[in-house]
Amino acid sequence: MLDKIQAWDEKMLLKLTKKRTAALNKLMILITTVGNHGYVWFAFSAPFLLTNRWRLTGFTMLLALCFTWLGGEVTIKHIVGRVRPCNKSFEEYLLIENPPHYSFPSGHSSSSFAVSMVMLFMCEQLFVPVFIFACLMAFSRMYLLVHYPTDVMAGAVFGIICGCAAVPLSPYIPFFDFQI
């Protein structure tokens, strides 16, 4: 079963390499770079944290990001230990620096989808643009051959779970006792 999944993943990535263009290469590199280390989501949450009305939303984003980092980057990646496609058979197609960690699940995807779920429940007017950006972020990881499609799908599902878990939990964490 795992061999069939691996073969499908590799087939999909090979198809993607044939669809590359110079303009798409630049766009995908930009999108993935913006998502490195979750900086875009920390920056996105900052304005929310500055106002009383939106502070819970900003904090919930940070909580969801903590869940994805602890669960995905710290735990699941080291348990699964999946080698990235660029380390295995796609190294000659690599357009960015080779990421140092394991592949499964995609951290860019999980953090992006976690924040999009927080937006769905707490700031609905921003859900669609954040969700579209999350999809682009996930696609960029496959396009740049640093994740297999199943890494990205698992990251998206994990992010959705983390975002959905953070929403009901965040009001119970004592963070809002101060006023700005």
pLDDT at 20: 85
Write out the DSSP string of 28-49. Answer: HHHHHHHHGGGHHHHHHHHHHH
CA atoms within 13 A on the CB side of 129: 4
pLDDT at 92: 65
pLDDT at residue 180 tops 80: no
* pLDDT band per the 50, 70, 90 thresholds, residue 41: very high
pLDDT at 90: 61
Q: What average pLDDT score do residues 21-39 get?
A: 90
Per-domain residue ranges of the chain = 43-171
* pLDDT band per the 50, 70, 90 thresholds, residue 122: very high
Candidates 60, 65, 40, 53; CA nearest to 129 is: 40
pLDDT at 37: 84
- Give the model confidence (pLDDT) of 55-89 as tens digits: 899 999 999 999 999 999 899 999 998 888 887 76
pLDDT at 67: 96
Helix (H) or strand (E) holding 131: helix 127-143
- Measured between its terminal Cα atoms, the distance across the chain in Å is 54
The dotted CATH code for 43-171 is: 1.20.144.10
Candidates 89, 71, 90; CA nearest to 155 is: 71
